[in-house]
Structure 1
Amino acid sequence: MIAVGWPAQAQTPETEFRVNPYLQNPSTDSMTITWFTNTAEPAELTVRGPGLRGGATYTTTPTHEAALDYTEAELSQQIDGLEQGSWLREGVNYKHMVEVTGLQAGKRYNYQVRAGAARFNAHFTTAPSTARWGNIRFVALADSETEPLGRVLRREWAPGALDETGAQRPSADEGSVWDEAFGTTVLSQVRTLRYILTEDEGYRRNLEVIESRKPDFVAMPGDLVQGGGYQPGWDEFFRHNAGELASGLSHRPLIPAIGNWENFGALNGGYGTPDDRSPVVQARAKYHVYFDSPDNGTEAHRDNYHRIDYGPITLITLDSSNGEPDDAPGNYPDAEKATGQEYRGPGTDTQNNYTREQYEAAGGTDLADFNPGSPQWNWAEEQLADARSKGQIIFVQFHHAPFSSGEHGLPMYHEFTSGQGGTPMRQYHPMFEEYGVTVVLSGHSEMFERSYVNEGDGPGVHYYDVGVAGDGLRGERRDGPSLNDPLLKYNPYSQWTADQDEPEQWELIDGTLQLVDGGKHYGHLEVNVKNLRDGARVTLTPVYVFPVLDQDYELVRTERRVYDDEVVLELDTDGVVRSAAG
């Protein structure tokens, strides 16, 4: 790793925030506050609020996090459309972390961080008690996959359903009006439109909508960055969430999960080679630097899977990165691979990119199997049983969507597998039903989808793919290599997708084809939990950020809109769903 040097005239650099203070691990009586500076100077955190007479002051002992230093490849990277190195930060990363304790449930606290001449002021609210709470709101979104390239990149906008009474999409021909304004590209053998917003702007506008709704916390089931081993990707993530563009995570805590991209070195070697998987080790090491999660009983697996109780809500986070035995598409001869909708079982592994043996040979020690009998599996069942015994409203999140109509919805043995299918996580469904899980949150296929699975005597479980934070805008998987092939419809449990159930509505307005509603856009799932006299109500609202254009295809504004698939669940006093509407 290489640290960016200071200019020769800067003898003693002033302390600055490389990452603004951000919140983790919310509870009724504590909150973790983490930030990064560019010097080793201690910082001071002061928290004021109920129960802290005169305030509580903490002085930090920062640690230099060498895992976050830039590499030679990052320092020399060229990105078309951006001035070379303009996205890099000077100095190195010093981590400051304070667990603030002695707080009271459901109370607001103001805090200030002083680091040299730098000051940062913000506030947070602790989780309510299980005895006294009224309304809780949180949002879930995945696959932001931030990187500097996202500042200039418009992603391919896979065609979905069209409103039968409206006009067709604008022409995707080279030189067309749309091509001149936003670009076009060849996707799955078909030239298609690029999206209106860049990845950077799409994610930023998404976060603006979230901020306007003032959620109590944010859940992100994986793929926060476009390569966990790529430091500029993390710089971009915090630029949006605790940095120069916005700092929403300074006011509300983030509860993240590890995605496949958090295992990927990106520019720094991808997944590595069979003889050297160090890029994967380095990628996961960066994740562990940024996020400090509650103890799960296995020190080597800390941060990988964890439990947060936010008042009456329990959010259990799993790591779906590694299943054993390791598997790969190459283990199945072409003549024996499944085709069409054939399903032979979930399989054991969600990725064919590396094995445990390779990972540990590169020095990694934190890999966690998720299959039955593993420490993670046993821990998950213990936590589910405990949460159910306490009458909690249980949510679960992990990255690889187990029920998906998208690119990553196929098992390892299918002819069209991506090698990263989420079907092995279906093994958890009976456990989720047994313990009354309300909703499972995932991402990965970069689409918006809701599935409903009921294979027992209980109320079943709703599964969401919320992978529309700010990266790809994919549609349902086709039964062939082309977008002109029919839909595969591999997921029999699918109830709704933005791709097919929210048709694009195009109209000719003042001589210009305009999208007036519907279609696939960046967005998130808003979850509202309301306390009732005889239980609770959970309202699940799929939200999208709609871009409004003028007749010259210039962006006028974006609007918060809601898809027509809001689901309302009524829960009893034990936290178990008793009825649903939507």
Structure 2
Amino acid sequence: MRHRRTLLALASLTALVLPLAVASPASAGGGSREEFRVLPYLQSPSESGIRVTWFTEDGEPGTLTVRGPGVQGSRTYHVGGTTQPELAYTDAERAEQIPGLDQGSWLRGPHNYKHTELVGGLRAGHRYQYTVRQGRSTVSGRFATAPSARNWNHLRLIAMSDSETEPRGRVQKREWAPGAGADGRPSAASGSAWDQVHGTTTLSGSQVLRYPLTEDEGLRRNLAAVQQRQPDAVLFTGDLVQGGGYQPGWDEFFRNTAGVNGNLLSSVPILPAFGNWESFGALNGGYGTPEDRTPVVRSRAKFHAYFDSPGNGTERYQDNYYRVDYGPVTILTLDSNNGEPDDAAANYAPEEKLTGREYTGPGTDTQENFTREQYERAGGDDIAAYNPGSVQWNWVERQLADARARGQAVLVQFHHVPYSSGEHGLPMNHALTSGQGGTPMRVYSPLFERYGVAAVISGHSEMFERSFVDSDGDGVGVHYYDVGVSGDGLRGVRREGSTLDSAPLEYNQYSRWTADQSEPERWTSGRDGEPRLVGGGKHYGHLEINVDRVRGDRNRTARITLTPVHLFPVLDQDLEVVRTERRTYDDEVVIDIGRRGTPVR
């Protein structure tokens, strides 16, 4: 294993320049699509097939036609629509008003019908064309089956998190917490040039800039850059929407990924994970109350309605955690939302709470918002504990053992980042805890290191960060990523004090890189004397994972390269964003994989 530093200068020379405006695609590949509520999107890729899903508003049967190797002529499936009552709008959603948008302009029709087909019997590592006909509308697209572990040369994965879509994101520009090098920033004072163009706001008692892109623009630019890279699959490690129980949030997610604003998922399969926001009802009751957790049950039901993951052997926990093998790589998706025994910050008296960098253990629970007993009393039965001895834990250990026996490289994703310098990096018994800290997921670290997991990908703290854990000191450990910069907040590290000018807390001793502190903002003075950003800083982005076959080496079979990517906003003399550029941060990591599928030095 080795860590390779790349030069920003080189990255900017080879940057993919993306115009600010995003053209609405005609379809996934061609044709009209008026009768689709959600365009066809792909799930559950395997060597022999893939799942194709779409949504309509009338439920009339549609047809799916597949053409490609091993299919004589074509294969046609007649796919009926199944009503999804859990996706209906609530009265609160229909009555919602969002400043800057015409009331109700973001709402769709009242009905959601799901059409889904698991296409099987295909050949590994081949490309196929598909056409979906729904009434008078037609959408065409392409997909590829996963290659076999023996016959492959290259694959590319993208990891994203915390898109947290909502209609408000069309007009909302988030606070841009200052990081390293922020002394050269423009004035954040009310009435300043930046304030007049993009706005400013108050954060931790300080006036700060708002980011120059709306949440919606940031996500769409991010997705467009991903689509141009033609990945084999995209990992969405939780917090897809700003409230799993908020239907307009799901409408917005699919508008950007399988709809009028973008169609990445019509050609690239999604591997989603449950985040904490997928259990949140937003304006429909939040997390509910201890007496009534039905908002949480309804929220998680929406996730299950949209996504159908490979089976995990336990029908009760279907979609919560699952395995996908893609060529030489095994991807394990976990549900990190229910730790047991349940815990809460209120369980610790003020004099018992940790301060500063004190640490007594990771704790057992990643959230204090609801308990399993409360959830099940409200009618839910799908919430899976992750702790040792649980059904999910035992499943994970079996999958790791099987992947190791097969010589597979292993990637793991779940939402709550176990090692974080940010908002959710502190355990439940710390005075500064958010009540949703990811430290309890550290319980998996010895298991991951023992089985040679290459990287663990999470989100949650809405940062771009890499940590490295090598508990036995042999130089071969596990890289942990927070990739929570898809299109929502752009947070910085936790501070020692309550103000932004206090020193970083540095609670995460395993941190090796953050966009907030390791990539200083670089500003230069424009003709009018107003600073212009020319490089550095934290921006919306994603993690690109390239896996390449190594031939002629007795000790190495593959090389995994993990590259943090951001979409850099280029400003004109009036501080307006004229385009975004795909750039890479200076923290590219290369992991060489041995014949057992484990990282080697």
Q: Which residue of 2 aligns with 1:364?
A: 380
Contact 2:40–2:258 (Cα < 8 Å) also in 1: yes
> Partners in 2 of 1:27 and 1:101 — Cα distance?
9
Contact 1:15–1:116 (Cα < 8 Å) also in 2: no
Aligned residues: 563
Contact 1:452–1:495 (Cα < 8 Å) also in 2: yes
Shift of 1:62: 1.2
Q: Secondary structure at the match of 1:150?
A: helix
Q: Which residue of 1 aligns with 2:570?
A: 548
Contact 1:530–1:536 (Cα < 8 Å) also in 2: yes
Shift of 1:91: 3.5
Structure 1: 4+ residue segments shifted above 6 A: none
Shift of 1:61: 2.1
> Partners in 2 of 1:105 and 1:366 — Cα distance?
33
Shift of 1:457: 6.0
Contact 1:77–1:85 (Cα < 8 Å) also in 2: yes
1:156 to 165, 168, 175: 175
Q: Which residue of 1 aligns with 2:215?
A: 199
Q: Does 1:136 align with 2:155?
A: yes
Q: Which residue of 2 aligns with 1:106?
A: 125
1:257 to 266, 273, 289: 273
Q: Which residue of 2 aligns with 1:238?
A: 254
Q: Give runs of aligned pairs for residues 413-492 of structure 1, distance below 5 A.
A: 413-456=429-472, 459-492=476-509
> Partners in 1 of 2:312 and 2:361 — Cα distance?
29
Contact 1:27–1:311 (Cα < 8 Å) also in 2: no
> Partners in 2 of 1:130 and 1:301 — Cα distance?
28
Question: Could you tell me which amino acid in structure 2 is paired with residue 215 of structure 1?
Answer: P
Contact 1:447–1:474 (Cα < 8 Å) also in 2: yes
> Partners in 1 of 2:385 and 2:593 — Cα distance?
32
Contact 1:433–1:456 (Cα < 8 Å) also in 2: no
Q: Does 1:32 align with 2:32?
A: no
2:533 to 500, 509, 515: 515
Q: Does 1:20 align with 2:42?
A: no
> Partners in 2 of 1:352 and 1:373 — Cα distance?
21
2:76 to 24, 36, 57: 57
Question: Could you tell me which amino acid in structure 2 is paired with residue 561 of structure 1?
Answer: R
Shift of 1:437: 0.2
Contact 1:15–1:38 (Cα < 8 Å) also in 2: no
> Partners in 2 of 1:40 and 1:422 — Cα distance?
41
Q: Which residue of 1 aligns with 2:4?
A: none
> Partners in 1 of 2:436 and 2:99 — Cα distance?
30
> Partners in 2 of 1:115 and 1:208 — Cα distance?
26
Q: Secondary structure at the match of 2:37?
A: strand
Q: Does 1:227 align with 2:243?
A: yes
Q: Which residue of 2 aligns with 1:3?
A: none
Q: Does 1:577 align with 2:599?
A: yes
Q: Which residue of 2 aligns with 1:11?
A: none
Q: Which residue of 1 aligns with 2:16?
A: none
> Partners in 1 of 2:65 and 2:344 — Cα distance?
51
> Partners in 2 of 1:343 and 1:141 — Cα distance?
29
> Partners in 2 of 1:87 and 1:134 — Cα distance?
44
Contact 1:15–1:41 (Cα < 8 Å) also in 2: no
> Partners in 2 of 1:102 and 1:335 — Cα distance?
62
Q: Which residue of 2 aligns with 1:117?
A: 136
Q: Does 1:380 align with 2:399?
A: no
Q: Deviations over 1:155-201 (max 9, x none)?
A: 000000007xxx61101001111111101110011110000000000
Contact 2:428–2:437 (Cα < 8 Å) also in 1: yes
Q: Which runs of 5+ in 1 are unaligned?
A: 1-13
Q: Secondary structure at the match of 1:348?
A: coil
> Partners in 2 of 1:479 and 1:371 — Cα distance?
31
> Partners in 1 of 2:88 and 2:531 — Cα distance?
47
Structure 1, 472-481 or 498-507: larger mean CA deviation:
472-481
- CA-based RMSD of the aligned residues comes to 1.0
Q: Secondary structure at the match of 2:413?
A: strand
Shift of 1:456: 2.4
Shift of 1:212: 1.1
Question: Could you tell me which amino acid in structure 1 is paired with residue 169 of structure 2?
Answer: G
Q: Which residue of 2 aligns with 1:344?
A: 360
1:529 to 522, 538, 547: 547
Q: Does 1:563 align with 2:585?
A: yes
Q: Deviations over 1:407-436 (max 9, x none)?
A: 000000000000000000000000001111
> Partners in 1 of 2:560 and 2:34 — Cα distance?
45
Q: Which runs of 5+ in 2 are unaligned?
A: 1-32
> Partners in 1 of 2:139 and 2:267 — Cα distance?
12
Contact 1:328–1:419 (Cα < 8 Å) also in 2: yes
Shift of 1:487: 0.8
Structure 1, 395-404 or 51-60: larger mean CA deviation:
51-60
Shift of 1:54: 1.6
Q: Which residue of 2 aligns with 1:334?
A: 350
Q: Secondary structure at the match of 1:394?
A: strand
> Partners in 2 of 1:569 and 1:374 — Cα distance?
31
Structure 1, 336-345 or 567-576: larger mean CA deviation:
567-576
Q: Deviations over 1:48-105 (max 9, x none)?
A: 0000102111001211000000000000000000000000002410000100011001
User: Are residues 457 and 186 of structure 1, via their aligned partners in 2, closer, same or farther at CA, if it must alter by over 3 Å?
Assistant: closer
Shift of 1:554: 1.5
Q: Deviations over 1:457-494 (max 9, x none)?
A: 65110000000000000000011222122111000000
Shift of 1:15: 7.2
1:186 to 197, 202, 205: 202
Q: Deviations over 1:186-237 (max 9, x none)?
A: 0011110000000000000011111111111100110000000000000000
Q: Deviations over 1:248-267 (max 9, x none)?
A: 10001000100000010001
Question: Could you tell me which amino acid in structure 2 is paired with residue 41 of structure 1?
Answer: E
Question: Could you tell me which amino acid in structure 1 is paired with residue 568 of structure 2?
Answer: F
Structure 1, 170-179 or 456-465: larger mean CA deviation:
456-465
Q: Secondary structure at the match of 1:546?
A: strand
1:498 to 515, 521, 526: 515
Q: Which residue of 2 aligns with 1:93?
A: 112
Question: Could you tell me which amino acid in structure 1 is paired with residue 559 of structure 2?
Answer: R
> Partners in 2 of 1:132 and 1:316 — Cα distance?
21
Question: Could you tell me which amino acid in structure 2 is paired with residue 116 of structure 1?
Answer: G
User: What is the aligned-residue identity percentage?
Assistant: 63
> Partners in 2 of 1:456 and 1:322 — Cα distance?
29
> Partners in 1 of 2:342 and 2:498 — Cα distance?
27
Contact 1:15–1:37 (Cα < 8 Å) also in 2: no
Question: Could you tell me which amino acid in structure 2 is paired with residue 36 of structure 1?
Answer: F
Contact 2:89–2:110 (Cα < 8 Å) also in 1: no
Q: Give runs of aligned pairs for residues 164-179 of structure 1, distance below 5 A.
A: 168-179=184-195
User: Are residues 242 and 15 of structure 1, via their aligned partners in 2, closer, same or farther at CA, if it must alter by over 3 Å?
Assistant: closer
> Partners in 2 of 1:487 and 1:15 — Cα distance?
51
> Partners in 2 of 1:255 and 1:90 — Cα distance?
27
Contact 1:258–1:398 (Cα < 8 Å) also in 2: yes
Relative to the length of structure 1, the TM-score reads: 0.96
> Partners in 2 of 1:236 and 1:131 — Cα distance?
40
> Partners in 2 of 1:130 and 1:189 — Cα distance?
54
